[in-house]
Amino acid sequence: MSELTVLLHPDPRLKKTCIPVTNIDKSIKKLCLDMIETMYKYSGVGLAASQVGILKRVVVMDCSEEGEKKPKVLINPEIIWSSEDVSLFEEGCLSIPDIREEIKRPSSVRIKFTDISGVLKEDFFEGLWATCIQHEIDHLNGKLFIDYLGPIKRSFITKKMKKYKKEINKK
């Protein structure tokens, strides 16, 4: 397995709509394993393929208790139902390190997706799992959690990130 590089905002690839996976071949399976490794390495609870520069509709997630390790692979995930009630969660993103903001989203969702064996499945998510899958599907559609914030807050974060990227490029 190999660890992948996580793209940092702002990056044009994080704004792109990812394309559906039509064939789960060896390269997709390797991508999933590498994404799981990368997610754990950076202590994330989810990762979308666009965050590692691959513009395909692939998501990995693990919101289980620490030490449990129950990674999920979701290919072409789609929300087929979302609850009327919403909840406020403090979100973070591996592509926007050290920024945390409260975002309002439906509390629970039903998802349709293809698993790593190519089987079409449905699953119900609530709590952090529900927040996370919505955050990841947004990534596949070129949307970041900061896009839910007002323009002033968002441009402040983008400015801070540009500065941060300049700093780490100097090292």
Where in the sequence numbering do the catalytic residues fall? 136
State the nearest-atom distance from the C-beta of 34 to ligand GNR, in Å.
Answer: 15
SS3 47: strand
Half-sphere exposure of 95 (CA within 13 A, CB side): 26
Query: Of 75-83, 113-121, 131-139, 153-161, which segment contacts ligand GNR by CB under 6 A?
Result: 131-139
Q: CB nearest ligand GNR: which residue?
A: 44
Q: Provide the 10 A C-beta neighbour count for residue 50.
A: 26
Minimum CB separation of residue 131 from ligand GNR in Å reads 5
- By CB under 5 A, the count of residues binding Ni ion is 1
* Nearest one of 3, 168, 9, 5 to 99, comparing CA atoms: 9
In the complex, what is the shortest distance from the CB of residue 119 to Ni ion, in angstroms, rounded to a whole number? Answer: 26
Asked if 4 touches Ni ion (CB under 5 A), the answer is no
Which residue among 48, 52, 74, 130 contacts ligand GNR (CB under 6 A)?
48
Count of CB atoms situated within 10 Å of the CB of 160: 13
User: Counting contacts by CB under 6 A, is residue 136 touching ligand GNR?
Assistant: yes
- Do residues 6 and 51 make contact, with C-beta atoms less than 8 angstroms apart? yes
Residue 2 burial (10 A CB sphere; 0-12, 13-18, 19+): exposed
The answer to whether residue 77 forms part of the interface with ligand GNR (CB under 6 A) is no
The binding site for Ni ion (CB under 5 A) comprises: 93
